Amino acid sequence: MEGEELLDLPKRRLLYDIVRRHPGIGARRAQRIASFGWGETVYHLARLTRAGLLHREREGYRDHYFLANVPFVDRDLLRLALSRSARYILVALLEQPHSTVPDLARRTALSEGRLSIPLRRMLASDIVRAARRGRFRTFELVDPRTVVRVLATYPESMPDPWVDRTVDVWSELFRS
């Protein structure tokens, strides 16, 4: 079986649709949604990946699955945005660029310690850049339009009313 023929099998089609609706999903979460056994889930995800219908990315000990046509920039941002803390930081930086860690802590209701890992990952992925303002580092999004586009394009991956509200406002601004 090749390509689209693989999707004739109902279980494989279901997994493919789950990945389509939840780009960046891990195999365990896909397994829970599909109500399949672990071996069955891994087998079908591997077949879909080998056929080129899905793309698998390894991050630490986790695999993330995407449809093959999801661009790299989107995959990178989606992997980060699966974390609620990272989503809150992205939204806070959309609303107030050049924020310091104390600013972000106030806006997101996350502790300063809780901000460090997502911020470090965003800096390493070139989604956020840092600058100095006095004794504080400030953070801003490298490309706010891309962040808004990704958050608006894949809302089922990260259902969050706070994100939805901000994306609606920013989408309107970018259409103008």
Q: Of 156, 155, 154, 152, nearest to 33 (Cα)?
A: 156
Residues 26 and 65 in one domain: yes
Asked if residue 46 lies in contact with residue 65, where contact means CB atoms within 8 angstroms, the answer is: no
For the chain, what is the domain count? 2
What percentage of the chain exceeds 90 in pLDDT?
52
Tens digits of residue pLDDT in 50-92: 999 999 998 878 889 999 999 888 898 888 888 888 988 998 9
Residues 99 and 48 in one domain: no
> How far apart (Å, rounded) are the C-alpha atoms in residues 133 and 152?
31
Neighbours of 31 (CB within 10 A): 20
Residues 148 and 98 in one domain: yes
> How far apart (Å, rounded) are the C-alpha atoms in residues 89 and 12?
35
Assign residue 129 the CATH number of its domain.
1.10.10.10
